[in-house]
Amino acid sequence: MFQPSQSRRGDPRQKKCPFCDKGTKYIDYKDYPTLKPFTDYFGNIRQRYYTGICLKHQKMLRTAVQRARFMGMLAYRK
């Protein structure tokens, strides 16, 4: 009996960029609380596909995370 999978995972196309909603123009590397949820357990940056961030903000996030990693606020690898 095949049952259509109930929508446990939402449609990734329906996600909205959390930074666009706030209207952020610059993501600061010192802002640990905002950066932390966009990194996974191993310290990698989460994929845009899962977080729903737009490309512009993903690039900003990347530079911020790289800077934070250099200063020892975020881990390179766990």
| Residues contributing to the site for another protein (CB under 8 A) | 25-26, 28, 30-33, 43, 67, 69-76
Q: What is the DSSP string of 49-76?
A: HHH---HHHHHHHHHHHHHHHHTTSS-S
CB of 31 to another protein, least distance (A): 6
CB of 7 to another protein, least distance (A): 24
| Residue number with CB closer to another protein (55 or 71) | 71
Cβ atoms within 10 Å of 75's Cβ, excluding its own: 13
CB of 70 to another protein, least distance (A): 6
| Residue number with CB closer to another protein (12 or 40) | 40
Cβ atoms within 10 Å of 35's Cβ, excluding its own: 21
